[in-house]
Structure formats: structure tokens, C-alpha cells
């Protein structure tokens, strides 16, 4: 009898616990169900349909949307731009972040807090404001042109914004510049845990700073590097804001800033009104990001 | 030998750091400088960092009656504050449930959330737009806040935090006769303040700096957020009004920089937690 009443009390408190758990999780579950799970399924469904947004009609077209990518010249350009962008930006931001973190982590350094505050500024700034600031400093009458002219590196100003040869490069510079601080801080956070004895032992063997960086710091940070590279790949393959603002949504000049994410946006919400195709492109982008990340992780781990 | 070597390393070290600091500050210095210059001086080609003719007219214009800028600023504040507040409660509650409570389906939900973190935004963009359209929420702040009312990464972070949270706190509260819900809101949440501050800063920054969603969802200029409004300062010839644009850009950056200076340590904590995953 006694045991029985105790048992029922336990199960009652367990029910209260279940109730609390599901009350606490309900909003998160509902939102992730509607805006993630249902959305993913919806996206898959759309990708096999021809969608007319204005008439709200869907017609099943099988794999037509997926087949269309391979004959779409713009898709090829966008993929090439995005891959080039990623191939330049990811190594540049990773190496720069690691080097600056290495110097900043030196315990002889004074004024570390001030350097950190300055370095973190680009991370705090919205891509919307940053892109405008970069467009300003790179415009024909802007300070960068003026600087290069005064130093004698240029005899005539370069129209960085409207010349297809330079526009993507300007976005690359801007992207590296604005992402290094975050990755640097991630490196810095783990460098704090690097045992000092490793450096001391190397110093006794007469290792230079460069050798310490190469043979101690870099191998020690390998897991963090994997994380940084993966974040870099995910970020660069989804680059949208900067290309959109830079080209006013066109991907120009001459498709030079057309990224995959920008193209998806154009097909879905521009004049083309082809949401089905845009959905197929988005799913393909997700697959590409997944595969590239997997390969990068394998390569980085094998190099050790 | 060693005495000779150290200063050289020092010089190299500081040179690298100062050059990098220069590269970081250069665009901001020009933005600030341009915001105090008249337009003709900016496009005139004569470029010195300090204005020849110092003026606050650009700031007076963007905050003036003919401009919606103050409205956009207020909109950004509303969306960011409301969005962040909701996020704090929902993420912390979900993280707490996943870490501390036992219930059927717990691990299925946890791994489900982890899997969803990896889905790129582009896949969700089109269906989210259509769902919000069907719910009649386009051109409202709800469209910006509702789908972003939770953050899966932060739920994960809060779960990690509560995994290491001492049990005796909850037990003591139970002995004092506090119910489970009271314990959470009166005892547990205040104790989780450092972690909550960290997520709050990053969530706030996310709302404040978001560009794609406002552009896609908002159509009436009175409802624009700052990031969207910034893009609208065009001259009659279609060229960008750099004077207004730079003044407006400077204003959008200031609140985040102030937050950064106040909550500096929480920024670093957030990064550490990300980095150690």
C-alpha cells in the first residue's frame, strides 16, 4: 500500500516534468516545424514543379528544373564566380586570421585590448553598411584610386565598381577583410590553452618565431582550422548581401558579381518568376556545400 | 644574444599589428570623414582625410523631416529588441528542457535540431516567403521576427550550459516550495545570465544587421529597417549620395560598437563556446 502510493506520486511528478518539457519546447518545435521541416519538404516539392507565383499554380514537371541547370549559361557563370570567390577567400581569411591571432597571443604584447577592439570593428558592422563604405572608397574619385595615383602605381584611375575584371576582386577583399576578425578571435580563444612548455622547449632548441608558428601553433590548431575552413566554405558559398548591394541586384557588370545565392534570388523573386527552378538551384547549392565541406574536412585531416 | 633578438621580434610584431590595424580602420576613417564633408568636396577629387569645409549638414539632412531615417532607426530598434527578447526566452527554455528534463522523444528532438542547423538559408528562403505570404504577414515586422524567434545554434549553446549547471540549485528551490516553472523563471534564468548575455548580443547583432529578409519581406518605406533604408540614398542622376550614405552608415554602426564596448567579455565567451564545439 505504502509502496503503491509512492509509485503513483513518482509517476505524477514525471508527468509534470513531461508537461514542463513540452511547454518549454513547444514554441521552438512549432517554429522549426513550420519554417524548417515543412519548408524543406515544400522546397523539394517546388523543385519538381513549374510555379506561377501570380496565379498560384503548380504543375509537375519531373526533373526538368534539375536538367535545366546544365544548359543554363548563367548557372555556370554563377557557379564559377562562387567557386572562384570561395577558393580565394577561404584560404586568405584562414591564413590571415591564424597569423594575426599568433601575433596577438604573444604574452609580451602590450595594448592587446585596444588592438582587439579595432580588429573587431568589421565584424560588428552590417554587410549593408560595409558594402557601401567599400563602394565609396573604391569608386573612381575615391581614396583608393587617389592613393594609388599619388604613389605612382597608377597613371589613370580604375573604375573598380564598373569594370568586370575588378568588381568580384573588390568583393573578395571586402569579404576577407570583414571575416578575418571573427576567425582570428576563434583562433585566439584556443591559443590561450596552448601549453607554454611547448614553446619553451622549442626556444631551447633554438627555434625562430616562424618555426614555432609552423611546427607548434599550426599543428596544435588543426581542429580549429577545420572548423574555420568549414565556416568559411559555408559563408562564401552563400554570399549574397555584398554581391546584391554592389550590383544593385543585377549581378553585373557583365555577370561578374553573379553568385549562386544572388541567382537563386533573381530566379525566385525577379521578373523571371521561376520559383520551381530557383528551388532546384537552392537544393543543388545545399548539396554542393555539403560535398565541398566533406572533402575539405577529409583533406585537412589527412594533412596532419 | 637573446637580448639582441627580443627587440627585433617586438618591432616586427608591432609593425604587423599596426599595419593590420591601419587596414582595418582605413575604410571607417574615410566613412567618418566623408560624413562631415559637403557632397561636392567628396566627388571633387581633392582628397584629404580631414574635411576642408567641415559640415554637419549630412547628419541634419538624414535626421531631418524629409527623411525617414529616424523612423528606420526606430524600426531597427523595435525589431532587434523584440526579436532578441523572444529569442532569449525561447532558446533558454528549449535548451533547459533538452539538458535537464526527462521526457519521451528528448534525443530525437535534440538530434533533429542539430540536423536542421546544417540547412543553408537559401533552401528555406522561398518556402518561408510563400508561407509568410499565405499567413498574410508580408510587409510586417512579424515576418522578420517570427521565423527568427528561435535560434538553433543558441538552443544548442544553452543546452551545453545547463548540462554543467549544479543540481542543488533546483533541489533547494523545490524544498522551498517553488514549483517547476517558478524555479526556472525566478532562480535558473537569473543564474544563467552570463550565457544569456552572450546569446543576446549575437542575436541582437543578427537582427540589427540582417539585410536579405527586410529586403524581401518589407515593401512600404515607413517599415524599412536601417540596413534596407541605407540603400535608398540615391541622387537624381541615379548616382549614390555618398555624403548622406556615409553619415547614415556611421549612425548604424555606433549602437553595435557601444554594445561591444559594454559587453566585451560576453563577445569573447560566445566565440569560445563556438570554437570549442
* pLDDT tens track for B59-88: 999 998 778 999 999 999 999 999 999 999
Asked if A21's CB is within 8 angstroms of B103's CB, the reply is yes
pLDDT above 80: residue A273: no
| B13, A103 contact by CB (below 8 A) | yes
| Same domain, residue pair A268 and A183 | yes
Asked if B268's CB is within 8 angstroms of A118's CB, the reply is no
pLDDT above 60: residue B1: no
Asked if B257's CB is within 8 angstroms of A238's CB, the reply is no
Cis peptide before A253 (omega within 30 of 0): yes
Asked if B209's CB is within 8 angstroms of A126's CB, the reply is yes
The minimum CA-CA distance between B31 and chain A, rounded to whole Å, is 6
Secondary structure class of A60 (helix, strand, coil): strand
pLDDT band at B212 (very low <50, low <70, confident <90, very high): very high
Secondary structure class of B177 (helix, strand, coil): coil
B275 touches chain A (CB under 8 A): yes
Of the listed ranges A3-17, A66-80, A209-223, the least confidently predicted one is: A3-17
Three cell numbers at A243?
A: 554581391
Distance between CA atoms of residues A251 and A228, nearest Å: 28
pLDDT band at B99 (very low <50, low <70, confident <90, very high): very high
Domain coverage including residue A193: 68-130+162-302
Average pLDDT rounded to a whole number, residues B250-275: 78
User: What pLDDT score was predicted for residue A209?
Assistant: 79
Q: How large a percentage of chain A has pLDDT more than 70?
A: 96
The minimum CA-CA distance between B65 and chain A, rounded to whole Å, is 22
User: What pLDDT score was predicted for residue A204?
Assistant: 85
Asked if B118's CB is within 8 angstroms of A133's CB, the reply is no
Asked if B120's CB is within 8 angstroms of A34's CB, the reply is no
Distance between CA atoms of residues A136 and A160, nearest Å: 10
User: What pLDDT score was predicted for residue A112?
Assistant: 80
Rounded CA Rg of chain B: 24
User: What pLDDT score was predicted for residue B272?
Assistant: 60
The minimum CA-CA distance between B128 and chain A, rounded to whole Å, is 6
pLDDT band at B270 (very low <50, low <70, confident <90, very high): low
Secondary structure class of A70 (helix, strand, coil): coil
| Same domain, residue pair A183 and A85 | yes
Q: How large a percentage of chain B has pLDDT more than 90?
A: 60
Asked if B9's CB is within 8 angstroms of A42's CB, the reply is no
Query: Does some domain include residue A48?
Result: no
Query: Does some domain include residue B72?
Result: yes
- The string of DSSP codes covering A149-188 is HHHTS-SS---TTT-HHHHHHHHHHHHHHHHHHHHHHHHH
Residue B160 CA from chain centroid, whole number: 22
Distance between CA atoms of residues B265 and B268, nearest Å: 5
Rounded CA Rg of chain A: 26
User: What pLDDT score was predicted for residue B266?
Assistant: 78
Query: Does some domain include residue B43?
Result: no
| Same domain, residue pair A189 and A266 | yes
Nearest Cα residue to A107 out of A176, A203, A181: A203
Secondary structure class of B4 (helix, strand, coil): helix
User: What pLDDT score was predicted for residue A4?
Assistant: 52
B99 touches chain A (CB under 8 A): no
Write the pLDDT tens digit of every residue in A281-303: 999 999 999 999 999 888 887 76
Query: Does some domain include residue A215?
Result: yes
In this structure, the dihedral spanned by the alpha carbons of residues A169, A173, A178 and A180, taken in order and rounded to 10 degrees, is 120
Work out the mean pLDDT of chain A and round it to a whole number. Answer: 89
Query: Does some domain include residue B17?
Result: no
Q: Residue A59: which H helix or E strand, with range?
A: strand A57-60
pLDDT band at B277 (very low <50, low <70, confident <90, very high): very low
Residue A195: CB atoms within 10 Å? 10
Of the listed ranges A49-63, A260-274, B13-27, B107-121, the least confidently predicted one is: A49-63
Three cell numbers at B272?
A: 569560445
pLDDT band at A135 (very low <50, low <70, confident <90, very high): very high
Q: How large a percentage of chain A has pLDDT more than 90?
A: 54
| Same domain, residue pair A97 and A29 | no
pLDDT above 80: residue A8: no
Distance between CA atoms of residues B270 and B257, nearest Å: 16
| Same domain, residue pair A168 and A276 | yes
User: Which of A133, A213, A280 to substitute to test the interface with B, most B CBs within 10 Å?
Assistant: A133
CB contacts of B122 in chain A (<8 Å) are 238, 260-261, 264, 282, 285-286
Number of domains in chain B: 1
Distance between CA atoms of residues A288 and A283, nearest Å: 9
Query: Does some domain include residue A152?
Result: no
Q: The domain that contains A109 carries what CATH number?
A: 1.10.3720.10
| A48, A63 contact by CB (below 8 A) | yes
Query: Does some domain include residue A95?
Result: yes
pLDDT band at B45 (very low <50, low <70, confident <90, very high): low
Ramachandran area for residue A112 (φ above 0: left; ψ -120 to 50: alpha; else beta): alpha
Write the pLDDT tens digit of every residue in A213-239: 888 889 888 988 999 999 999 999 999
pLDDT band at B170 (very low <50, low <70, confident <90, very high): confident
Query: Does some domain include residue B59?
Result: no
Number of domains in chain A: 2
CA closest to A115 among chain B residues: B21
Q: The domain that contains B195 carries what CATH number?
A: 1.10.3720.10
Three cell numbers at B159?
A: 543546452
Query: Does some domain include residue A125?
Result: yes
pLDDT band at B174 (very low <50, low <70, confident <90, very high): confident
Query: Does some domain include residue A196?
Result: yes
pLDDT above 80: residue A304: no
Q: What is the largest CA-CA distance in chain A?
A: 98
pLDDT above 60: residue A1: no
User: What pLDDT score was predicted for residue A229?
Assistant: 93
Candidates A103, A117, A275; nearest CB to B126: A275
Nearest Cα residue to B186 out of B198, B199, B169, B200: B169
Query: Does some domain include residue A123?
Result: yes
Rounded to 10°, the helix B121-134/A38-47 angle is 100
Query: Does some domain include residue B238?
Result: yes
pLDDT above 90: residue A5: no
- The string of DSSP codes covering B71-136 is HHHHHHHHHHHHHHHHHHHHHHHHHHHHHH---TTHHHHHHHHHHHHTS-HHHHHHHHHHHHHHTT
pLDDT above 90: residue B166: no
Asked if B121's CB is within 8 angstroms of A238's CB, the reply is yes
Nearest Cα residue to A263 out of A84, A80, A39: A80
| B123, A282 contact by CB (below 8 A) | yes
Average pLDDT rounded to a whole number, residues A169-188: 93
Ramachandran area for residue A255 (φ above 0: left; ψ -120 to 50: alpha; else beta): left
pLDDT above 50: residue B274: no
Write the pLDDT tens digit of every residue in A228-272: 999 999 999 999 999 999 998 888 889 999 999 999 999 999 877
Range from A201-205, B27-31, B258-262 that averages highest in pLDDT: B27-31
pLDDT above 90: residue B180: no
| Same domain, residue pair A109 and A184 | yes
- DSSP lists the bridge partners of residue A50 as A59
pLDDT band at B175 (very low <50, low <70, confident <90, very high): confident
Candidates A20, A141, A279; nearest CB to B43: A141
B173 touches chain A (CB under 8 A): no
- Residue B48 half-sphere exposure toward CB, CA atoms < 13 A: 5
> What's the 3-state SS for B182-223?
HHHHHHHHHHCHHHHHHHHHHHHHHHHHCCHHHHHHCCCHHH
pLDDT above 70: residue B275: no
Within 78-97 of B, beta carbons closer than 8 Å to A belong to 90-91, 93-94, 96-97
CA closest to A289 among chain B residues: B120
Average pLDDT rounded to a whole number, residues A43-56: 87
| Same domain, residue pair A6 and A117 | no
Burial environment of residue A277 by CB neighbours within 10 A (0 to 12, 13 to 18, 19 or more): buried
| Same domain, residue pair A122 and A25 | no
| Same domain, residue pair A9 and A76 | no
| A243, A259 contact by CB (below 8 A) | yes
pLDDT above 50: residue A68: yes
- DSSP lists the bridge partners of residue A58 as A51
| Same domain, residue pair A80 and A177 | yes
Enter the DSSP assignment of B31. Answer: H
User: What pLDDT score was predicted for residue B235?
Assistant: 65
| B243, B38 contact by CB (below 8 A) | yes
B268 touches chain A (CB under 8 A): yes
Average pLDDT rounded to a whole number, residues A200-208: 84
Query: Does some domain include residue B90?
Result: yes
pLDDT above 90: residue A54: no
| Same domain, residue pair A8 and A107 | no
Work out the mean pLDDT of chain B and round it to a whole number. Answer: 88
Task: Provide the whole-model pTM.
Answer: 0.90
Nearest Cα residue to B215 out of B144, B134, B165: B144
pLDDT band at B6 (very low <50, low <70, confident <90, very high): low
Secondary structure class of A285 (helix, strand, coil): helix
| A137, A146 contact by CB (below 8 A) | no
Query: Does some domain include residue B54?
Result: no
Query: Does some domain include residue A206?
Result: yes
Domain coverage including residue B227: 67-275
Three cell numbers at A194?
A: 596552448
Give residues with Cβ within 8 angstroms of B29, minimum separation 6.
Answer: B49
Asked if B125's CB is within 8 angstroms of A282's CB, the reply is yes
Distance between CA atoms of residues B230 and B135, nearest Å: 28
Amino acid at each position: 500500500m505504502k509502496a503503491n502510493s509512492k509509485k503513483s506520486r513518482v509517476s505524477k511528478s514525471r508527468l509534470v516534468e513531461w508537461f514542463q518539457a513540452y511547454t518549454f519546447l513547444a514554441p521552438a518545435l512549432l517554429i522549426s516545424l513550420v519554417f524548417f521541416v515543412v519548408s524543406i519538404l515544400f522546397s523539394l516539392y517546388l523543385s519538381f514543379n513549374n510555379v506561377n507565383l501570380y496565379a498560384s499554380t503548380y504543375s509537375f514537371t519531373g526533373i526538368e528544373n534539375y536538367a535545366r541547370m546544365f544548359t543554363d549559361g548563367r548557372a555556370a557563370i554563377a557557379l564559377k564566380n562562387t567557386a572562384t570567390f570561395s577558393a580565394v577567400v577561404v584560404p586568405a581569411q584562414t591564413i590571415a586570421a591564424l597569423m594575426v591571432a599568433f601575433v596577438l597571443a604573444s604574452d609580451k604584447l602590450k595594448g592587446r585590448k585596444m588592438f582587439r577592439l579595432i580588429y573587431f570593428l568589421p565584424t560588428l558592422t552590417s554587410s549593408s553598411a560595409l558594402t557601401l563604405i567599400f563602394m565609396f572608397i573604391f569608386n573612381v574619385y575615391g581614396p583608393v584610386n587617389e592613393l594609388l595615383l599619388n604613389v605612382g602605381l597608377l597613371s589613370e584611375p580604375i573604375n573598380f565598381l564598373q569594370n568586370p575584371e575588378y568588381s568580384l576582386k573588390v568583393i573578395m577583399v571586402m569579404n576577407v577583410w570583414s571575416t578575418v576578425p571573427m576567425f582570428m578571435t576563434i583562433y585566439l580563444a584556443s591559443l590561450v590553452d596552448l601549453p607554454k612548455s611547448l614553446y619553451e622547449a622549442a626556444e631551447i632548441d633554438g627555434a625562430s618565431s616562424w618555426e614555432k608558428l609552423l611546427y607548434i601553433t599550426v599543428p596544435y590548431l588543426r581542429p580549429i582550422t577545420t572548423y574555420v575552413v568549414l565556416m568559411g566554405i559555408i559563408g562564401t558559398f552563400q554570399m549574397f548581401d555584398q554581391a546584391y548591394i554592389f550590383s544593385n541586384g543585377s549581378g553585373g557588370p557583365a555577370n561578374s558579381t553573379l553568385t549562386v545565392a544572388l541567382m537563386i534570388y533573381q530566379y525566385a523573386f525577379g521578373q523571371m518568376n521561376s520559383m520551381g527552378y530557383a528551388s532546384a538551384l537552392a537544393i543543388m547549392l545545399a548539396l554542393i556545400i555539403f560535398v565541398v565541406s566533406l572533402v575539405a574536412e577529409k583533406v585537412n585531416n589527412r594533412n596532419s | 644574444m637573446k637580448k639582441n633578438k627580443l627587440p627585433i621580434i617586438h618591432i616586427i610584431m608591432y609593425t604587423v599589428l599596426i599595419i593590420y590595424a591601419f587596414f582595418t580602420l582605413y575604410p571607417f576613417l574615410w566613412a567618418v570623414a566623408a560624413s562631415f564633408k559637403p557632397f561636392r568636396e567628396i566627388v571633387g577629387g581633392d582628397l584629404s582625410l580631414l574635411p576642408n569645409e567641415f559640415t554637419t549638414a549630412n547628419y541634419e539632412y538624414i535626421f531631418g523631416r524629409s527623411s525617414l531615417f529616424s523612423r528606420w532607426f526606430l524600426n531597427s530598434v523595435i525589431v532587434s529588441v523584440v526579436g532578441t527578447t523572444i529569442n532569449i526566452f525561447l532558446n533558454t527554455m528549449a535548451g533547459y528542457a533538452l539538458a535537464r528534463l526527462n521526457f519521451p522523444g528528448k534525443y530525437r528532438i535534440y538530434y533533429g535540431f542539430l540536423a536542421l542547423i546544417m540547412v543553408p538559408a537559401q533552401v528555406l528562403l522561398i518556402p518561408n516567403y510563400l508561407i509568410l505570404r499565405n499567413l498574410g504577414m508580408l510587409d510586417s515586422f512579424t515576418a522578420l521576427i517570427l521565423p527568427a524567434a528561435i535560434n538553433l545554434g543558441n538552443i544548442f549553446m544553452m543546452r551545453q550550459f545547463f548540462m554543467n549547471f549544479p543540481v542543488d540549485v533546483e533541489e533547494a528551490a523545490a524544498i522551498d516550495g517553488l514549483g517547476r516553472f517558478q524555479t526556472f523563471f525566478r532562480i535558473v534564468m537569473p543564474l544563467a545570465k552570463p550565457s544569456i548575455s552572450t546569446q543576446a548580443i549575437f542575436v541582437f547583432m543578427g537582427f540589427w544587421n540582417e539585410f536579405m529578409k527586410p529586403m524581401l519581406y518589407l515593401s512600404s518605406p515607413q517599415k524599412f529597417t536601417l540596413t534596407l533604408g541605407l540603400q535608398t540614398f540615391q541622387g537624381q542622376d541615379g548616382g549614390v549620395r555618398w555624403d548622406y550614405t556615409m553619415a547614415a552608415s556611421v549612425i548604424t554602426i555606433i549602437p553595435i560598437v557601444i554594445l561591444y564596448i559594454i559587453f566585451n567579455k560576453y563577445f569573447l565567451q560566445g566565440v569560445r563556446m563556438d570554437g570549442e564545439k
